[in-house]
Amino acid sequence: MSDSSISGRAAIVGLGATEFSKNSGRTELRLALEATLSALQDAGIDPSEVEGFSSYSVDKVPEYEMARLLGCKDVKFFSQVPHGGGAACGPVMHAAMAVATGVAKVVVVYRAMNERSWYRFGTGTYGFASTPIFENVNYGWYMPHGFHTPAAWVGMFAQRYMHTYGATSEDFGRVAVAVRDFAATNPNAFFYGKPITLEEHQASRWICEPLHLLDCCQESDGAVAMVITSAERARDLRQTPVMIKAGSQGIASGQQIMTSYYREDITGLPEMGVVARELYRQSGLGPEAFQTAVIYDHFTPFVLPQLEEFGFVERGGAKDFIRAGHHARGGKLPINTHGGQLGEAYIHGMNGVAEAVRQVRGTAVNQVPAVENVLVTAGTGVPTSGLILGAA
């Protein structure tokens, strides 16, 4: 580990969230402020002390307005990470870098969305023709062939993965059943009290073969925020510090946004491999060090290759890991104990980072025993990111 590493130099000390719904009834700015004030109160830090902000580029909540309404004095750092859900861990990494380098002493990370009541991702109506920037022109090569939605884009990768490694729709269903089981016992989850069976998964309607409806994440309204400061200061605050042991972003060879079909092999997620190697390098940890993980589950098929990229199983072996129930309640590596984006809410992965914080604190509803380290991954199919959070 080099002296320039961010590992162990910053900590998450405050956590806040709104309720998760399909119609919040208030603006995204209001949601972001509610979650941020809750996180600052949780940390015991006054809003006037905040010196930095980080969020996502697909965001309608400007940091300057957050700073004004919070009563911040001098804001010295702000960033927005692109690529939708691929950004999920990036803002925390950016905050840790700002704190570790002394650029800002207290940084707020937030994500607020009215992604059900105000607008909907993945509808296939993007207005690309009227804005011929690079990404839109690129999609023009795919849309005439029916690739209009994220489900369709992921479906192509999933078909090839199934063909190569023998995975089945039932394997994807086992991912959905396990996270819905966790959501069913999480009062903050939208699907609290609503588990599903594998039979119900298989009977749910097709969205884009091989994806059923229950392979696809929710559309949600809500917000999540957290507060990051130095490891030294964290020791004197009211909450158990959750150390940022590693953070990384990743783009791999041949990368495009959801349509990296021209690679020689489309059964893996090499950008997540970039993230995995860097997280392990920074932290000095390996696959055996984790008691639980938050694996980005916008679509169930992409959970399997993520397990492989991080070395929990060999290439093509994730289906057997899933069939054995190692990912489920009581398993060897329970994943998405909050219910994931399939069961709790789709807040672009920020609610997954929050669950990792709770697991390290020991306050999760579905608490895994003796948690020392939690892996968190971000959206796949796009340039992505990841974190390792752990106890001090």
Q: CA quadruple 96, 98, 104, 109: dihedral positive or negative?
A: negative
Active site residue 161: no
Question: Please, what's the largest Cα pairwise distance for the chain?
Answer: 58
How deeply is 54 buried, as exposed, middle or buried, from its count of CB atoms within 10 A (0-12, 13-18, 19+)?
buried
d(CA 224, CA 170): 32
Among candidate residues 139, 161, 165, 346, the one labeled active-site is 346
64 is catalytic: no
**Residue 355 CB contacts under 8 Å (≥ 6 apart), including other chains:** 294, 336, 337, 338, 344, 364
Q: Catalytic amino acids?
A: 296, 346
